[in-house]
């Protein structure tokens, strides 16, 4: 295991991640495991070699993730799906997930400074009507008990989102309640 040097602030930098329990050794991976990894290159990642202990759920989770975020034939622009992921991660406190998805949100939106303000100032940062609505809806969904309601939908509509785009916000934000809980509880980020 590598030496852990945990980040103490939210960042768009590339971070590492170190598992607290034992990933499968690469040499022990079978075809069942490779099917679970979906991309064979993921055998190099400690995180995926840990999750592949249950290959069936990893495979289904990965394919859910890819369609929610990468299927851009229609629906919400990629940048705003990533914004929903970053806002959820900021709120739940996942420094690792926030770093990855803030970076993606910056890349696709070209609004790196606004994304950084979300990381620095948190969910109160004023990012303009459309982004504010996406952030607020994501946070309301992430709260327990869930606080998402008709007001969030009205706000998203006022900001110009149609129902298909609103479903993408719901999917993107909801998915990160899955991802954050794995990254936060099975290991820790490292600079």
Partner 1 sequence: MSTPDIIDTLAGIKPGSALDAIRAHRVQARDNAQKSYLSLFEPIDASDFSLVERAAVAAFVTGLHGESPVAAFYRSKLAASTDGARLVEAIEAEIARGKTSGPYGSFPAGPLSVENTAGLIYRVSAERRSALGPRLGAALEHAHLLVFRPRDASSADMKALLGAGWSNTGIVTFSQLVAFLSFQLRVVSGLRTLAAVNA
Residues forming contacts to partner 1 in the complex (CB under 8 A) are 6-10, 20-22, 50-51, 53-54, 56-61, 63-64, 66-68, 71, 73-75, 91-95, 122, 141-146, 148-150, 152-154, 163-164, 166-168, 170-171, 173-175, 177-182, 184-186, 188
- From the CA atom positions of the chain, what is the Rg in Å? 17
Contact 92, 176 (CB under 8 A): yes
Query: Minimum CB separation from partner 1 for residue 180, in Å?
Result: 6
Indicate the residue among 77 and 110 with the shorter CB distance to partner 1. Answer: 77
Q: What is the DSSP string of 42-99?
A: GGG-HHHHHHTTSHHHHHHHHHHHHHHHH--SSSS-HHHHHHHHHHHHHHHT-HHHHH
Query: Minimum CB separation from partner 1 for residue 164, in Å?
Result: 5
Query: Minimum CB separation from partner 1 for residue 80, in Å?
Result: 15
CA distance 117 to 56: 38
Contact 70, 62 (CB under 8 A): no
Among 147, 142, 148, CA closest to 184: 142
Indicate the residue among 59 and 80 with the shorter CB distance to partner 1. Answer: 59
Indicate the residue among 52 and 127 with the shorter CB distance to partner 1. Answer: 52
CB-facing half-sphere around the CA of 75: CA atoms within 13 A: 20
Query: Minimum CB separation from partner 1 for residue 70, in Å?
Result: 10
Query: Minimum CB separation from partner 1 for residue 6, in Å?
Result: 5
Indicate the residue among 1 and 128 with the shorter CB distance to partner 1. Answer: 1
Indicate the residue among 72 and 110 with the shorter CB distance to partner 1. Answer: 72
Q: What is the enclosing helix (H) or strand (E) of 136?
A: helix 129-142
């Amino acid at each position: 295991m590598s030496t852990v040097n945990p980040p103490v602030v939210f960042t768009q930098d590339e971070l590492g991640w170190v598992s607290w329990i034992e990933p499968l050794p690469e040499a022990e991976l079978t075809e069942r495991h490779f099917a679970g990894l979906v991309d064979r290159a993921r055998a190099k990642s400690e995180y995926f070699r840990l999750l592949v202990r249950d290959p069936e759920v990893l495979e289904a989770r990965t394919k859910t993730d890819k369609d929610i975020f990468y299927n851009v034939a229609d629906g919400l622009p990629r940048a705003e799906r990533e914004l929903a992921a970053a806002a959820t991660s900021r709120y739940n406190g996942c420094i690792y997930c926030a770093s990855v998805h803030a970076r993606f949100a910056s890349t696709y939106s070209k609004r790196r400074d606004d994304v950084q303000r979300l990381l620095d100032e948190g969910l109160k940062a004023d990012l303009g009507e459309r982004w504010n609505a996406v952030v607020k809806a994501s946070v309301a969904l992430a709260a327990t008990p869930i606080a998402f309601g008709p007001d969030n939908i009205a706000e998203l509509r006022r900001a110009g989102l149609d129902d298909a785009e609103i479903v993408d916000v719901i999917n993107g934000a909801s998915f990160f309640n899955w991802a954050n809980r794995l990254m936060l509880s099975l290991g820790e980020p490292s600079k």
